[in-house]
Amino acid sequence: MGRPTVLALHYQNDVLHPDGRIRVGLAADDPARTTVLDAAMRLQHGARARGWPIIHVRVAYRPDYADLVQNAPILRAVAASGAVREGTWGAQFHDALQPLASATEFVVTHTRINAFYGTPLDTLLRQLDARQLLVAGVATHSVVESTVRHAVDCGFEVTVLADACAAANPETHRAALQSMSLIATLSDVASTLGDRP
């Protein structure tokens, strides 16, 4: 593998913190939270140590949700829950997964399910001369799968880091990974970083 670029999707308080408002990624009492957090932290530390770019992708809306097109159940649920409003704790990145002020770290904000739609993500990846993407985030069957499919259509080679992803229902998580295995490589953080027990 050459120099990959990490896409870290929705590691935000409303999505990942037990007090968060969004439950499509992890239930409030889900024991998988620790696993996902640990894997995501190892991924970010490993990428930084290797000089790999990290693009932190967040979803956030105006406080009045005027920029939220509520044409799908998941988007209506965001508005109903009062989640990820710009300027709130819920829209901020989880404390353990904060972006650093670095020439190799970037933040992209989006308002749809796919992180590419209506954002400068594709332009940024081309600017970084990215060819290989390491994708991780929450939820597996939502932003991760939607973004992976778009990335593959754009010509990127994609690896999904399964242990740094989650869905509230483990079966949904596994089904999304199985679906993505047709178009992306499935791996885990330790294997990708070359860390062996």
Alpha-helix runs per DSSP H in the chain:
13-16, 32-50, 73-81, 121-127, 145-153, 170-180, 189-193
pLDDT value at 196 more than 70:
no
pLDDT value at 70 more than 60:
yes
Yes or no: domain 5-193 corresponds to CATH 3.40.50.850:
yes
- For residues 21-37, average pLDDT: 84
Query: Token pair of 144, please?
Result: 């991760």
Tell me what pLDDT residue 23 has.
75
pLDDT tens-digit readout, 133-187: 999 999 999 999 999 999 999 999 999 999 999 998 999 999 999 999 999 999 9
pLDDT band of residue 26 (cuts 50, 70, 90) is confident
Model confidence, pTM:
0.95
Residue ranges per structural domain of the chain: 5-193
- For residues 17-35, average pLDDT: 84
